[in-house]
Each structure stands twice: as C-alpha cells, then as structure tokens.
Structure 1
Amino acid sequence: MTDTEPRVSIVIPAYNEESVIRQCLIAAVYQSVPAHEIIVVDNMSKDRTASIVTQMQQEYPESPIILLRQDREQGLIPTRNFGLDNATGDILGRIDADSVVEPDWVEQVQKAFEDLSTSAATGPVVYYDMPMRRFGLKADDKMRQLMLKLAKHQYHFLFGSNMALRRSAWETIRSETCRDERDEMHEDIDLSLHLADHDLKVQYWPQMVSGMSARRLEDSPRDYRYYVTRFDRTYKAHNVKKMALKAPMVVFFSVYFPAKLLRAIHTVNTSQPVRRGGQ
C-alpha cells in the first residue's frame, strides 16, 4: 500500500456469532491489499464470539485484528456506530459477522474511491451456502443494477453486508442517522437516505464482492415478511414516497419461496454422508 492510497478499516458488528466469526476474520486477513485495521465490535455476546476473536489475534499477530466491546446498549445500530466512530481509516468498510469478503475486497474498495466524488460504495453478494453460487452472484448484480435504474440513479442503496463510507461522509451524517430504537427499519437504507439528503454520491462497484449466508431464509414466512417490509417503514420514516423504491420489496418477496426450496435441497445434499463402494 502506498502513502497515496486510502487506508481501509473493516468494521464488523457481532452478537452471538461464534459459528461464523472465524471464517469472516480469515477472509478479512487474507487480502491482496491488507486492511488498515479489522475491528470486531462485540455487543454483549453470550457465546464464544469474543474469545474466538482473541484467539485469532494470537494466531495472526501480524494482522491488525482489534476487539472492541460495546456494552452500553443492545442493538446493531449503536454497535455499528461505535465501530465506525472508533475506526481510524480513511475509508470505513462495514460488513456483517457472516460476511466472507473476496480476497481482493480491500483493493476493490480502494479502486471504488479513486473517484473523489464517491462518498460511499457498495457491491453485490454471493450466497456461499446456496447452490449455483456464481449464477447467484450474477443474479444479485443484475438485481442491484435494475434497482439503481428504477430509482433513476437518484438513490442507490448501501448493503450492510458489503459497504464502505468515506470518513468525511460518515462524519457528515453521523448525528442524523436514525436510532431506530423499536428496530423497525433497515439501518443500511437509513444510511443511504441520509447520504442522499446531502447529495453525497453512493457508487455501485460490481467488483467489490462479499459472500454472505442465506440464513435469513430460515425465517418463517411471517418473520421474513416483517424483515422485507422494513423497507417500507424506513421510507415512511424519511417521508420518501417514490414508487420506484418499492422495487427491493417486490424482489425480496418474489424470491423467498424459490430460494428457500433451493437452500433446503442444498442443505440436504451437503449433509448426506459420502457413500463408499461396497457400503
């Protein structure tokens, strides 16, 4: 990394993520361009999340893995804010604890911000626990391109599992972001709308790829519906009424049952024991 390239922090909010946090950190460590820092913010986890991060620090002493604890209040938004506030990079990356970023993720984030007018960037995701992953990545990319087109390029939405903000942009919107104490909104859409309020450009960067789990599909139809309708509640909280912004809701509703079936088939297939000859 040269002195002219921006330093990229990776912030990972975590609550009871012992099953996924190790693979998340391994992907963040093995980057073509090293991250300036990799910050895990533990939000009062009751499992081994924090101890696994501590173990990773010992296993990878040359890597800038930092463990912070946010124990003042429960919730993703205060935990996310705490991490972004304490990050020291020029670009503040933000992923989830079940994210597995591609090996060139940091490098692609730097490229996305070479355009000095870019205040934030986001990219597509590949669901690593679903079949036909590369096809799924292409479909996800096309879906996000379509949503950008439908919104007539006035809005592009950050995706919490795969996003980055210029530090100056975060400092601009920090005090305005919604606390959402009733946990009714999409926090990443809230960030996007606050950026739009300040005419801060959100760049969609297709090469900035992160893997994530499709575990949301394990939700019941009722819970999944509540998750998807967070879009509508977020728009209402911001008094946004553009019909084009309904596109994500329609897409998420339409893919639930087909994707749930595919995930079930994939789970069955991958859990089958390998049959050996003569058995």
Structure 2
Amino acid sequence: MPPATPTVSIVIPAYNEEASIRACVMAAIMQTTAASEIIVVDNRSTDATGEIVRALQVEYPDSPLIYFQQDLEQGLVPTRNFGLDRAQGTVIGRIDADSVIEPNWVAEVQQAFIDESVAAATGPVLYYDMPLRRFGLKADDRVRRFILTLSRDYHFLFGSNMAIRRTAWLAIRDQTCRDEVDELHEDIDLSIHLAQNGLKVTYVTSMVSGMSARRLEDSPRDYSYYVHRFERTYARHGLMNPVLRVPMWVFFAIYPLGKVIRTMQHRKLARAA
C-alpha cells in the first residue's frame, strides 16, 4: 500500500509586516494544491499586519486561514514555536512574512514528504524585488546545491523556505535554542538539532519561494552582524567544521554587488516617480 499523501500546514510568523503580509498570504491561499492550514502568528505588531490578515479571512472565507496573536514574548523563536506547536498538518511549512511561495509549493512539499525517511525539506529562493529574477533563481539554486555538496551529510534549512515533518518538530522542539537576545540563525539551529538526532533533511530544487532582497539595504555594520549569526550559532553548538561557514562567506561575497544593484534600483524608481 503506497504511503498517504501528507497534509501541509503553513506557518507565517509576522511582526510589523503590513507592506508584505498580503502578498505572502495570498500566495499561500492561491496554491494549485491547497494547504490544510495557513497560520499567521502576529507578534505584537504595531502596524496594520493584523487588520490585513483579518480582512483576508473575510475576503476568502473558504480558505484555511487562521490568525493568532502571540503577545507573551517578543521574538521570532517563540512566535515560530507558537505556530509550529498549533499546526496539525503531517508536514509544517515555515516561511517568512515577506516570502511569496510559488503556486505549486504545497504540491512540491507533499511530493518530497511521500518519502517517509524525510524529516525536513528546503529549497531555493527567488528574489522577487531584484532584476533578472529567474536568472537569480538558477544562480541561487546552484549555490545552495554546491553548499550542500560541500557539507555532505549536513543539510541547511532556510527559514524563508522550509518544511518539517510534525513528528520531527516534536522530537527536537525542546532541544532548540530559545535565543532570547536574538543573535542566532534560528533556521540553522533547527538544522543542527535535526542532524544531531539523525533526522534527514532534503533539498528540493522545485520547492521555490520568493523573498525580498531588502537585507541588502542594511548598513555594512548591520549586514555583518546579521551574517555573523552563522558563526554565533555554530559557536553555541561547539561546531568547528570550516565547511559549515561557506554560506556566511557567500553572503559576504554577494553584498557589495547586491548593494550597488539595489541602490541603482531605488534611484531608477525615484527618477520615474
């Protein structure tokens, strides 16, 4: 008897994301294969994030859109955990509030998890607010596959585009770092705990999520602090393998050119306005 097709919940942590949350949720609703749940967890937003999600619930009453407020703690990890704990799907997709998943994303996640040995999956990213988006997607895919080849048995999860089997989440939940001071990469922390428990992470080229390149607008100091989250996360877990630092070096390498392209984009838009 073939394995049952897994059900997929989508969890979206959000904090002051009024500019992007509608596009994110709409992409989750308009899937070729419907998610069983779309859970938005609002973490003390002071803008219109909540109002936009509630309006979408009215606009699409037949969608499985659920809105929660997580007001007990400020931070991505407790907000993520709140959503993952409440998701009922066999598989829990986790994306950012500025992610725009491709229309076949749920179907690709389901296909990946038909293999019962897969505990988590991740895929490439399309930067939807940069030029030459499809070329960028191919480049992103190749870089990520190269990184995974180097790291061999250790596979990274990318928080803007990942899914985890519910049983795997329950197995590692209490081991994951709380990161109260917000200095780690929470998705890398998940990857580490999955690896330590012998739980398989797979990379799926066709599991594509769009995301914003807004990080390139950070100052060099802020960008450096963000990228060094890799180093701090590995240090927290006592991991010294230099291969695991490759994503950090890649992020540093793309910043100068990406910053120039982003600046030119803004100037072009300003002239056209």
TM range (shorter): over 0.9
RMSD value, Cα: 1.1
Q: 1:44-90: per-residue Cα shift (whole Å, max 9, x none)?
A: 10011001000000000010110011000100000000000001111
3-state SS of paired residue (2:46): coil
- Counterpart in the other structure of 1:110: 110
Q: Secondary structure in 2 aligned to 1:52?
A: helix
Aligned residue in 2 for 1:233: 232
Q: Is the counterpart of residue 245 in structure 1 residue 238 in structure 2? A: no
How far off is 1:263 after superposition?
Answer: 1.5
Report the equivalent of 1:62: 62
Aligned to 1:219: 218
Which amino acid letter does the alignment assign opposite residue 56 of structure 1? Answer: L
Displacement after TM superposition at 1:271 (Å): 4.5
Per-residue displacement from partner, 1:212-250 (whole Å, max 9, x unpaired)?
A: 000101110000000001100100101111111110111
Corresponding residue of 2:175: 176
1:195 corresponds in structure 2 to 194
Q: Which residue of 2 aligns with 1:119?
A: 119
How far apart in 1 are the matches of 2:87 and 2:79? 12
Equivalent pair of 2:4/2:114 in contact (CA under 8 Å): no
- Normalising by structure 2, we get a TM-score of 0.97
In structure 1, the residue matched to 2:138 is 138
1:144 is aligned with what amino acid?
R
Which letter maps to 1:222?
R
What's 1:23 paired with? Answer: 23
1:32 equivalenced with 2:39 (yes/no): no
Local SS of the residue matching 1:175? helix
- Structure-2 separation of matches of 1:215 and 1:222: 15
1:91 counterpart letter in structure 2: V
User: 2:77 matched to which residue of 1?
Assistant: 77
AA aligned opposite 1:179: R
Identical amino acids, percent of aligned pairs: 62
Which residue of structure 2 aligns with residue 277 of structure 1? Answer: none
Q: Which residue of 1 aligns with 2:90?
A: 90
- Does the CA-based 8 Å contact 1:126-1:140 persist in structure 2? yes
Q: Summarize deviations over 1:131-185 as a string: whole Å, max 9, x none.
A: 110111011101111111111x221110000000000000000000000111111
Distance in 1 between residues matched to 2:13 and 2:39, nearest whole Å: 8
Equivalenced residues, count: 271
C-alpha separation between the residues in 1 aligned to 2:138 and 2:266? 22
CA shift for structure 1 position 273? 2.9
Contact 2:27 2:102 in 1 (8 A): yes
The one-letter code sitting in structure 1 at the alignment partner of 2:195 is A
What amino acid does structure 1 have at the position aligned with 2:20?
Answer: V
Contact 1:131 1:263 in 2 (8 A): no
Unpaired segments ≥5 residues, structure 1 = 275-279
Deviation at 1:267?
Answer: 2.7
Secondary structure, counterpart of 1:174 in structure 2: helix
Counterpart of 1:258? 257
What displacement does 1:272 show? 4.0
Q: Do 2:216 and 2:255's aligned partners in 1 also have CA atoms closer than 8 Å?
A: yes
TM-score normalized with structure 1 length: 0.95
Question: Aligned partners of 2:27, 2:155: CA distance in 1, in Å?
Answer: 26
Amino acid at match of 1:19: A
- Relative to structure 1, is the Cα distance of residues 62 and 41 closer, same or farther in structure 2, using a 3 angstrom cutoff? same
Report runs of 4+ in structure 1 exceeding 4 Å deviation. none
